[in-house]
Amino acid sequence: MANGFVLNMKVIIANWKMNVGVRESVALARGTLLALRGRRTLPEVIICPSFIALSEVHKVVARSSVKLGAQNLFWEDHGAYTGEISGRMLTELGVSHVIIGHSERREYLGETDEMIRNKVAQALENQLDVILCVGETAVERKSGAQRERVRTQLVHVLDGVHLKSHDRLMIAYEPVWAIGTGEIPEVAEILAMNEFIRSILSDVLPNMNANKIRVLYGGSVEGNNAYSFLREQTIDGLLVGGASVKLNQLKEIIDAASEVLDAQQTKV
């Protein structure tokens, strides 16, 4: 904040998926901290390693501004659910954020909007900030059903959910066809979808100011295209997969965010 003007904070979320184990995660986390050093302005950075690396990565980032996120959680607090991890367990490890409803889980693990809704409730009960993923498939896009798909996902998951603060929820618009493919929507399409997402949020969360809920983009983000998204005021940040396990790429993405934030500060 400067002169009473609130800067448009940008968020960079690194979703390491099932790409790196403990040792590599620790090295990447250390590299991320180095990449953040000596900057005038910093985006908010959240790194999401696999469950098995959370504890070690937490040791690396604990005294930094970098936050720790999980890639999933279960919808119950405890009990006979073999192989599952609860929100309560995540908070024990220093996790503050959790990705919910990623399209890979919807596709390969059969996650439904109802399961995702229960997971969101569980995360909020445990004071975890939710990064909720939505997005249409290539087939839905081809038939012009992308808005309807995203609307349905948001309504099924969030209608009636009790949110105490805007900070507790981010929406990541990740068109399924753009994930890991090198194909990206036009920036104008993302802006239009973000506006649409905010209009749905106003309907389903009437007590919230939807303009304050952060809406991110994800899908084939790399160092060389990050700036084109981040310079847009209504794209609050990026959810990055493949490029986030390549330190030089992640650094370029953070550079792009810092450049945007520096420019904003100069204008104030």
Residue closer to ligand 13P by CB (options 94, 242) is 242
Does 44 participate in catalysis according to the annotation?
A: no
CA distance 186 to 155: 25
Q: Are 77 and 87 in contact (CB under 8 A)?
A: yes
Q: From the CB of 247, what's the least distance to ligand 13P, in Å?
A: 15
Q: Which stretch binds ligand 13P (CB under 6 A): 38-46, 138-146, 155-163, 241-249?
A: 241-249
CA distance 158 to 129: 14
Residue closer to ligand 13P by CB (options 66, 174) is 174
Does 195 participate in catalysis according to the annotation?
A: no
Residue closer to ligand 13P by CB (options 115, 208) is 115
Reported as half-sphere exposure (CB side, CA atoms, 13 A), residue 103 has a value of 20
Q: From the CB of 15, what's the least distance to ligand 13P, in Å?
A: 4
Q: Which stretch binds ligand 13P (CB under 6 A): 31-39, 79-87, 145-153, 174-182?
A: 174-182
Identify the residue among 221, 230, 254, 257 touching ligand 13P (CB under 6 A): 221
Which residues 47-106 are close enough to bind ligand 13P by CB under 6 A? 102
CA distance 203 to 132: 17
The DSSP secondary-structure symbol of 51 reads G
Which residues 107-166 are close enough to bind ligand 13P by CB under 6 A? none
Which residues are CB-neighbours of 111 under 8 A, at least 6 positions away? 101, 105
Give the burial class of 209: count Cβ atoms within 10 A of its Cβ; 0-12 exposed, 13-18 middle, 19 or more buried.
exposed
Identify the residue among 26, 242, 246, 247 touching ligand 13P (CB under 6 A): 242
Q: What is the DSSP string of 198-212?
A: HHHHHHH-TTS-GGG
Identify the residue among 52, 180, 195, 203 touching ligand 13P (CB under 6 A): 180
Identify the residue among 43, 175, 185, 219 touching ligand 13P (CB under 6 A): 219
Residue closer to ligand 13P by CB (options 174, 252) is 174
In the block, tokens 């900070």 appear at 167
Q: From the CB of 268, what's the least distance to ligand 13P, in Å?
A: 31
Give the burial class of 231: count Cβ atoms within 10 A of its Cβ; 0-12 exposed, 13-18 middle, 19 or more buried.
middle
Q: From the CB of 72, what's the least distance to ligand 13P, in Å?
A: 12
Residue closest to 56 by CA, chosen among 87, 16, 110: 16
Q: Under the criterion CB under 6 A, does residue 190 sit at the interface with ligand 13P?
A: no
Catalytic residue among 104, 136, 140, 174: 174
Residue ranges in 126-246 assigned as alpha helix (H):
138-142, 146-158, 187-204, 226-230
Q: Using CB under 6 A as the criterion, which residues of the chain lie in contact with ligand 13P when the complex forms?
A: 15, 102, 174, 179-180, 218-221, 239-243
Catalytic residues: 102, 174
